[in-house]
């Protein structure tokens, strides 16, 4: 079936653009029982703290996946206000969404599959990463179609074994996919079709800074940069470091760092240090209004499968957030919440739209605030606590919140 016959539904949620939602009062927000409050000043300050850490090197803020769930455009603007000089996204549609919102900072998109229409990207001045010759050829075609040169950054695989043209230490093998890619890039640049502005790579073990691959990948990257320059490419930016490397491997800084998670104030290395240890502040706070609070007798099974039995007569609180909203089902019986300043744990299974909490004899009423996580200042759980409870990483906790959880922005210049 041809694409023309396929109805295209944009992946917008059921909500109006969150930027259109008021931050206080009734209005549209009153329709949703939960919200994620995003502290834009925290994002700006985190960028500032990260830049200080790398001696003022340039910083590309990674805002893929709706800015790790924090909202693409407001988060991008907050990162730029904090001193980011560029934005990085995975998918082309994310780059175009930034441009459509009027964000004109340099944007790099690095996950482009064959068949992607590169014309609107080149027209919008979006840099498209190339990991293979076909991507450079497609960029050259788009340059012809638009009448303006395409701009790329070449992705080299120095050992992650994921995206990027494979490169080995020159002493092992000087002719690799990478050397073919840089030769083609140099040819297309001299034709005036594709400008190669930078080269970059990504670590496999940045969260284990003493792992041998962390130095090994830096050595291969140095060889890859030399090969690119020898081929005639005049590189403006060379970058390796994600959040973990930005925080723990200074030697990997080169011209620019490329953090995502740390921009949003979460630690990518919770075993080595918490957010505050790195001068970072979590930017997302998720809260809900209790949908119901009721007394139940001892021995009552709670939620599907009755995996939790009330130990005595108690008050059970129904929280209107479930796995469809991003609360991991793996956090059944384990996820932490705070109600009236006290910590409780999810009782029984997380359902699609709701979960339960046994608050004992604490006086709780429907409508009272339930805090899932926040910055942790007031004893509330953090996204890291939820990650620990669900056996995952904080990245997954914040990126999963869906369209039924409106993002509300505080701070920043709005």
Ligand X SMILES: *Cc1c(COP(=O)(O)O)cnc(C)c1O
Q: Please count the other Cβ atoms lying within 10 Å of the Cβ belonging to residue 115.
A: 7
Whole-number Å distance between alpha carbons of 144 and 132: 19
Show Cβ contacts of residue 231 under 8 Å, excluding neighbours closer than 6 positions. Answer: 179, 182, 183, 185, 186
CA 113 to chain centre: 20
Give the H or E element holding residue 241. Answer: none
Q: Which is nearer to ligand X, 90 or 118 (CB)?
A: 90
For residue 17, the minimal CB distance to ligand X (Å) is 24
Whole-number Å distance between alpha carbons of 129 and 147: 19
Residue ranges in 25-64 that form contacts with ligand X under rule CB under 6 A: 62, 64
Yes or no: say if 77 and 47 are a contact pair by the CB < 8 Å rule.
no
For residue 395, the minimal CB distance to ligand X (Å) is 6
**String of contacts with ligand X for each residue 237-276, x by CB under 6 A:** -----xxx-------------xxxxx-----x--------
**From 6-14, 224-232, 236-244, 377-385, span contacting ligand X (CB under 6 A):** 236-244
Residue ranges in 189-208 that form contacts with ligand X under rule CB under 6 A: 202
State the catalytic residue, choosing from 64, 68, 323, 395. 64
Give the H or E element holding residue 89. Answer: strand 86-89
Q: Which is nearer to ligand X, 205 or 291 (CB)?
A: 205
State the catalytic residue, choosing from 68, 304, 308, 395. 304
The two three-digit tokens of residue 143, written as one number = 């340059």
For residue 150, the minimal CB distance to ligand X (Å) is 20
Yes or no: say if 193 and 150 are a contact pair by the CB < 8 Å rule.
yes
Q: Which is nearer to ligand X, 163 or 345 (CB)?
A: 163
Under rule CB under 6 A, residue 110 binds ligand X: yes
Q: Which is nearer to ligand X, 135 or 193 (CB)?
A: 135
Number of residues that bind ligand X (CB under 6 A): 13
Q: What are phi and psi of 265, to 5 degrees?
A: 90, 10
Q: Name the residue with tokens 């990257």.
A: 221
The two three-digit tokens of residue 312, written as one number = 């005595």
64 a catalytic residue: yes
For residue 269, the minimal CB distance to ligand X (Å) is 10
Q: Which is nearer to ligand X, 18 or 242 (CB)?
A: 242
For residue 18, the minimal CB distance to ligand X (Å) is 22
Whole-number Å distance between alpha carbons of 165 and 318: 51
Task: Supply the residues annotated as catalytic.
Answer: 64, 304
Which residues in this chain contact ligand X in the complex, by CB under 6 A? 62, 64, 110, 202, 242-244, 258-262, 268
């Amino acid at each position: 079936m041809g694409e023309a016959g396929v109805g295209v539904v944009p992946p917008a949620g059921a909500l109006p653009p969150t930027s259109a939602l008021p931050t206080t009062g009734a209005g549209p927000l009153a329709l949703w029982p939960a919200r994620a409050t995003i502290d834009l000043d925290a994002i700006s300050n985190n960028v500032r703290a990260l830049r200080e850490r790398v001696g003022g090197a340039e910083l590309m803020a990674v805002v893929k996946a709706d800015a790790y769930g924090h909202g693409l455009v407001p988060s991008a603007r907050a990162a730029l206000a904090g001193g980011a000089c560029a934005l990085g996204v995975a998918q082309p549609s994310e780059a175009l969404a930034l441009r459509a919102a009027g964000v004109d900072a340099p944007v790099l998109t690095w996950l482009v599959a064959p068949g992607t229409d590169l014309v609107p990207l080149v027209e919008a001045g979006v840099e498209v990463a190339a990991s293979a010759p076909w991507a450079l050829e497609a960029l050259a075609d788009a340059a012809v179609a638009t009448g303006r040169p395409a701009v790329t950054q070449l992705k080299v695989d120095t050992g992650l074994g994921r995206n990027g043209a494979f490169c080995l230490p020159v002493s092992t093998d000087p002719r690799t996919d990478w050397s073919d890619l840089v030769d083609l890039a140099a040819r297309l640049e001299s034709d005036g079709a594709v400008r190669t502005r930078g080269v970059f790579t990504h670590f496999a073990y940045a969260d284990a800074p003493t792992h041998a691959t962390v130095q090994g990948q830096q050595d291969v990257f140095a060889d890859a940069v030399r090969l690119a320059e020898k081929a005639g490419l005049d590189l403006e930016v060379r970058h390796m470091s994600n959040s973990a490397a930005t925080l723990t491997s200074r030697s990997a800084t080169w011209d620019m760092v490329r953090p995502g998670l740390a921009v949003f104030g979460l630690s990518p290395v919770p075993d080595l240090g918490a957010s505050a240890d790195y001068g970072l502040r979590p930017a997302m706070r998720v809260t809900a209004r209790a949908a119901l609070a009721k007394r139940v007798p001892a021995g009552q099974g709670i939620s599907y499968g009755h995996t939790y039995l009330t130990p005595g007569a108690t008050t059970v609180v129904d929280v209107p957030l479930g796995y469809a909203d991003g609360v991991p089902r793996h956090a059944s019986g384990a996820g932490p919440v705070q109600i009236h300043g006290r910590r409780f744990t999810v009782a029984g299974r997380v359902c699609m739209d709701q979960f339960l909490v046994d608050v004992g004899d604490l006086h709780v009423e429907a409508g009272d605030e339930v805090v899932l996580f926040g910055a942790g200042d007031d004893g509330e759980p953090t996204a890291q606590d939820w990650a620990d409870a669900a056996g995952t990483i904080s990245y997954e906790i914040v990126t999963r919140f869906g369209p039924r959880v409106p993002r509300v922005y505080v701070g920043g210049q709005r």
